[in-house]
Amino acid sequence: MLFGIEDPYVWSALVLCILSMILCAIYGALRWNYDD
Amino acid sequence: MAVSTTVLGFAMALYLAVVVYLTWYGYKRTLRAEDYMVCGRRISSYVLAISYGATFISTSAIVGFGGVAGLLGMGLLWLTFLNIFVGIFIAFALFGPRTRKMGKNLGAMSFPELLGKRFNSRFIQAFSGAVIFLFMPLYAGIVIIGAARFLEVTLSVDYNLALLVFVIIIAAYVVVGGLITVMYTDAFQGTIMFVSMLILLVLTYAKLGGVTEAHQALTAMSNLVPESLSAGGMTGWTSFPVFGSPIWWTLVSTLILGVGIGVLAQPQLAVRFITARSSSSLYRAMLVGGVFIFMMTGVAFLVGALSNVYFYQNYGKIAVEMAGGNIDLIIPTYINDAMPDFFVVIFMLTLIAAAMSTLSSQFHVMGTSLGYDFYKGIVSKFRQEKTVLLTRIGIVITITVSVILAYILPISIIARATAIFFGLCAAAFLPMYIGALFWKRMTRAGAIAGLVSGTILSLFWLVFVHVKESSALGICEFLFGKPSLLSGTWQFVDPILVAFPIAFVISVVVSLLTNPPDEEHLEKCFKGV
* Confidence tier at B103 by pLDDT (50, 70, 90): very high
Cα–Cα distance for residue pair B423/B402, rounded to 1 Å: 19
Coil, strand or helix at B270: helix
Q: Which of B425, B420, B428 shows the shortest CA–CA distance to B142? A: B420
Q: Which of B269, B288, B239, B312 shows the shortest CA–CA distance to B76? A: B239
Query: Which of B76, B238, B292, B302 to substitute to test the interface with A, most A CBs within 10 Å?
Result: B238
Q: How many CB atoms lie within 10 A of CB B13?
A: 9
- Stretch B289-306: mean pLDDT: 94
User: In chain B, how many domains are there?
Assistant: 1
- Stretch A9-30: mean pLDDT: 92
| Per-residue confidence (pLDDT) for residue B262, from 0 to 100 | 81
- Work out the burial of residue B502: count CB atoms within 10 Å of its CB; fewer than 13 is exposed, 13-18 middle, 19 or more buried: middle
Cα–Cα distance for residue pair B465/B442, rounded to 1 Å: 30
Q: Which of B194, B98, B287, B292 shows the shortest CA–CA distance to A24? A: B287
Q: In angstroms, what separates the C-alpha of B477 from chain A's closest C-alpha?
A: 37
Q: Flag whether pLDDT at B2 surpasses 60.
A: no
B33-92: pLDDT as tens digits: 989 999 998 799 999 999 999 998 888 788 888 998 999 999 989 989 988 999 999 999
Q: Under a CB-based contact definition with an 8 Å cutoff, are residues B478 and B410 in contact? A: no
- Which of B197-206, B255-264, B513-522 bottoms out in mean pLDDT, i.e. has the lowest? B255-264
Residue of higher predicted confidence among B263 and B365: B365
Cα–Cα distance for residue pair B500/B394, rounded to 1 Å: 29
Q: Under a CB-based contact definition with an 8 Å cutoff, are residues B279 and A14 in contact? A: no
CA dihedral (B251, B257, B258, B263) positive or negative: positive
- Chain A residue whose CA is closest to B236: A7
User: Looking at residue B235, what DSSP letter applies?
Assistant: -
Task: Show residues of chain B in contact with A5, CB under 8 Å.
Answer: 74, 215, 219, 238
Q: In angstroms, what separates the C-alpha of B209 from chain A's closest C-alpha?
A: 12
Q: What is the DSSP string of A1-36?
A: -BTTB--HHHHHHHHHHHHHHHHHHHHHHHTTT---
Q: What is the CATH number of the domain that holds B215?
A: 1.20.1730.10
B211–A17: do the CB atoms touch at under 8 Å? no
Q: What is the DSSP string of B437-483?
A: HH-TT--HHHHHHHHHHHHHHHHHHHHHT-HHHHHHH-HHHHHHSSS
| Per-residue confidence (pLDDT) for residue A36, from 0 to 100 | 60
Q: Flag whether pLDDT at B1 surpasses 50.
A: no
- Stretch B453-463: mean pLDDT: 91
Q: Flag whether pLDDT at B205 surpasses 80.
A: yes
- Stretch B428-444: mean pLDDT: 93
Task: Show residues of chain A in contact with B96, CB under 8 Å.
Answer: none
Cα–Cα distance for residue pair A7/B361, rounded to 1 Å: 39
A34–B279: do the CB atoms touch at under 8 Å? yes
Cα–Cα distance for residue pair B58/B198, rounded to 1 Å: 17
| Per-residue confidence (pLDDT) for residue B418, from 0 to 100 | 77
Q: Which of B368, B294, B271, B363 shows the shortest CA–CA distance to B52? A: B271
pLDDT above 70 coverage of chain B, percent: 97
Helices (H) and strands (E) in chain A, counts: 1, 0
Q: Under a CB-based contact definition with an 8 Å cutoff, are residues A11 and B215 in contact? A: no
Query: Which of A6, A14, A21, A35 to substitute to test the interface with B, most B CBs within 10 Å?
Result: A21
Task: Show residues of chain B in contact with A6, CB under 8 Å.
Answer: 219, 238-239
Q: Flag whether pLDDT at B257 surpasses 60.
A: yes
- Stretch A13-30: mean pLDDT: 93
Q: Which of B67, B19, B368 shows the shortest CA–CA distance to B177? A: B19
B321-348: pLDDT as tens digits: 899 888 888 998 899 889 998 898 889 7
Mean pLDDT of chain B: 89
Q: Which of B393, B385, B365, B355 shows the shortest CA–CA distance to B179? A: B365
Cα–Cα distance for residue pair B236/A5, rounded to 1 Å: 11
First to last CA, chain B: 51
Coil, strand or helix at B243: coil
- Which of B91-105, B355-369, B372-386 bottoms out in mean pLDDT, i.e. has the lowest? B372-386
Q: Under a CB-based contact definition with an 8 Å cutoff, are residues B318 and B230 in contact? A: no
Q: How many CB pairs under 8 A join A and B?
A: 103
- Chain B residue whose CA is closest to A16: B81
- Stretch B216-234: mean pLDDT: 91
Cα–Cα distance for residue pair B407/B397, rounded to 1 Å: 16
| Per-residue confidence (pLDDT) for residue B91, from 0 to 100 | 95
Instruction: List the beta bridge partners of residue A5.
Output: A2
- Stretch B443-447: mean pLDDT: 95
Q: Does A26 reach chain B within 8 Å, measured CB to CB?
A: no
Q: Does A15 reach chain B within 8 Å, measured CB to CB?
A: no
Q: Under a CB-based contact definition with an 8 Å cutoff, are residues B484 and B472 in contact? A: no
Coil, strand or helix at B382: coil
Considering only CA atoms, give the Rg of chain A: 15
Amino acid at position B334, single letter: Y
Instruction: List the beta bridge partners of residue B276.
Output: B43
- Chain B residue whose CA is closest to A14: B77
Residues 6+ apart with CB under 8 A from B64: B146, B327, B328
Backbone dihedral angles phi then psi of residue B235, each to the nearest 5 degrees: -115, -10
| Per-residue confidence (pLDDT) for residue B254, from 0 to 100 | 61
Q: Which domain holds residue B57?
A: 5-525
Q: Under a CB-based contact definition with an 8 Å cutoff, are residues B289 and B282 in contact? A: no
Instruction: List the beta bridge partners of residue A2.
Output: A5
Q: Flag whether pLDDT at B145 surpasses 50.
A: yes
Question: Of the candidates A3, A25, A34, which has its C-beta nearest B287's C-beta?
Answer: A25
Task: Show residues of chain B in contact with A14, CB under 8 Å.
Answer: 74, 77
Q: Flag whether pLDDT at B259 surpasses 70.
A: no
Coil, strand or helix at B276: strand
- Which of B167-176, B255-264, B511-520 bottoms out in mean pLDDT, i.e. has the lowest? B255-264
